[in-house]
Amino acid sequence: MATDKRMTRAREVGVKSGLLLRKRMALAQEAYADRIKRANGANGANGAPEDTPPLAAMVDPARAFAYAIDAGQRAILFWDTLRQRGNQFVEHAMEGLKPVLHFDYDMVMDGRTFARPVNYALLKIKPPEGIHVDDTRRPYVIIDPRAGHGPGIGGFKDDSQVGVALRAGHPVYFVIFFRDPEPGQTMLDVCEAEQQFIRKVRALHPDSSKPAIVGNCQGGWAAMMLAASDPDDTGPIVINGAPMSYWSGAWQEGEGDNPMRYSGGLLGGTWLASFAADLGNGKFDGAHLVQNFEGLNPANTFWDKYYNLYRKIDTEPPRFLEFERWWGGYYLMNREEIEWITRNLFVGNKLWSGDVKNAADERFDLRNIKSPIILFASMGDNITPPQQAFNWVADLYGSTEEIKARGQVIVGMMHENIGHLGIFVSGKVARKEHAQIVSVLRSIELLPPGLYGMVITERKGVATASGEPEYEVTFEEHRLEDIAARMNRFERVDEKPFEAVAAISEFNQRAYELFAQPFVQAMSNDTTARLLREWHPLRMQNWMLSDLNPWMAWLKPAADAVRANRQEVASDDPLRQREAVAAELVSAALDHYRAMRDALTEASFFRIFGTMRAMYAPEEDRGERSRATASRPPPEIEQALASVAKGTYVDALARVAVMLMRDGKPLPLARLELRKELADDYAELLPDVETHEWRTTRGRQEIIVRCAPKQALEGLPIMLHDNAERRRLLALLDKIGADERVIGAPPSEDQIATLARIRAVLSGKPHRPRHVS
Asked whether residue 252 carries a pLDDT value surpassing 60, the answer given is: no
| Cα(712)–Cα(702) distance, integer angstroms | 10
- CA distances to 92, 266, 531 from 536, rounded to whole Å, are 17, 23, 8
| Cα(694)–Cα(768) distance, integer angstroms | 26
Which residues on adjacent β-strands are paired with residue 374?
238, 411
pLDDT confidence of residue 465: 62
Of 539, 173, 125, 175, residue with least CA distance to 327: 539
Please report which confidence band the pLDDT of residue 53 belongs to, taking 50, 70 and 90 as the band edges: low
pLDDT confidence of residue 722: 84
The percent of residues in the chain predicted with pLDDT above 70, rounded, is: 88
Q: Which residue has the higher pLDDT, 549 or 24?
A: 549
For helices 649-659 and 749-763, the axis angle rounded to 10 degrees is 150
Q: Which residue has the higher pLDDT, 647 or 274?
A: 274
Asked whether residue 254 carries a pLDDT value surpassing 60, the answer given is: no
- Tens-digit pLDDT profile for residues 409-431: 999 999 888 888 888 888 888 88
Dihedrals phi, psi of 621, to nearest 5 degrees: -90, 90
Contacts 24+ apart (CB under 8 A), 351-358: 351/221, 351/224, 351/225, 351/244, 351/392, 352/244, 352/245, 352/392, 352/395, 352/396, 353/395, 356/225, 358/188, 358/191, 358/192, 358/225, 358/229
- Tens-digit pLDDT profile for residues 139-187: 999 999 998 999 998 998 888 999 999 999 999 999 999 999 999 999 9
pLDDT confidence of residue 614: 83
The percent of residues in the chain predicted with pLDDT above 90, rounded, is: 53
pLDDT confidence of residue 636: 78
- Tens-digit pLDDT profile for residues 94-114: 998 999 999 999 999 999 999
- CA distances to 213, 440, 445, 641, 664 from 372, rounded to whole Å, are 11, 12, 6, 25, 21
Single pTM value for the model? 0.90
pLDDT confidence of residue 628: 40
* Contacts of residue 763, Cβ cutoff 8 Å, sequence gap at least 6: 730
Half-sphere exposure of 540 (CA within 13 A, CB side): 7
Half-sphere exposure of 398 (CA within 13 A, CB side): 10
Q: Which CATH architecture has domain 105-254+337-490?
A: 3-Layer(aba) Sandwich (3.40)
Report the first-to-last Cα separation within the chain, whole angstroms.
Answer: 52
Asked whether residue 49 carries a pLDDT value surpassing 60, the answer given is: no
Where is average pLDDT lowest: 49-58, 601-610, 705-714, 736-745? 49-58
| DSSP assignment of 19-48 | HHHHHHHHHHHHHHHHHHHHHHTTTSGGGS
Is the Cα torsion angle 43, 46, 48, 49 positive or negative in sign? negative
Hey, how many other C-beta atoms are within 10 angstroms of the C-beta on 199?
14
Please report which confidence band the pLDDT of residue 676 belongs to, taking 50, 70 and 90 as the band edges: low
pLDDT confidence of residue 673: 61
- Tens-digit pLDDT profile for residues 275-295: 999 999 999 999 999 999 999
Asked whether residue 56 carries a pLDDT value surpassing 90, the answer given is: no
> For 180, which DSSP code?
S
Put residue 241 in one of left, alpha, beta given phi > 0 → left and psi -120 to 50 → alpha.
left
| Cα(584)–Cα(38) distance, integer angstroms | 10
pLDDT confidence of residue 638: 83
Please report which confidence band the pLDDT of residue 742 belongs to, taking 50, 70 and 90 as the band edges: low
Q: Where are the domains of the chain?
A: 3-53+580-616, 105-254+337-490, 260-331+507-542, 635-763
Where is average pLDDT lowest: 368-372, 431-435, 545-549, 743-747? 743-747
Asked whether residue 257 carries a pLDDT value surpassing 70, the answer given is: no
- Tens-digit pLDDT profile for residues 484-523: 888 887 778 888 899 999 999 999 999 999 999 999 999 9
In the three-class reduction of DSSP (H, G, I as helix; E, B as strand; rest coil), residue 684 is classed as: coil
Put residue 261 in one of left, alpha, beta given phi > 0 → left and psi -120 to 50 → alpha.
alpha
**Distance from chain centroid for Cα 106:** 27
- H helices within 215-331, ranges in order? 218-229, 260-266, 271-279, 287-296, 298-299, 305-311, 317-327
| Cα(342)–Cα(277) distance, integer angstroms | 12
In the three-class reduction of DSSP (H, G, I as helix; E, B as strand; rest coil), residue 196 is classed as: helix
Asked whether residue 21 carries a pLDDT value surpassing 50, the answer given is: yes
Cα dihedral 638→642→645→651 (10° resolution):
-60
Residue 277 is which amino acid?
A: A
Q: What is the mean pLDDT of the chain?
A: 87
Q: Check: CB of residue 637 under 8 Å from CB of residue 703.
A: yes
- Tens-digit pLDDT profile for residues 575-628: 998 899 999 999 999 999 999 999 999 999 999 998 888 887 665 544 444 444
Asked whether residue 256 carries a pLDDT value surpassing 60, the answer given is: no
- Tens-digit pLDDT profile for residues 69-94: 999 999 999 999 999 999 999 999 99
Asked whether residue 8 carries a pLDDT value surpassing 60, the answer given is: yes
pLDDT confidence of residue 168: 92
| Cα(546)–Cα(726) distance, integer angstroms | 79
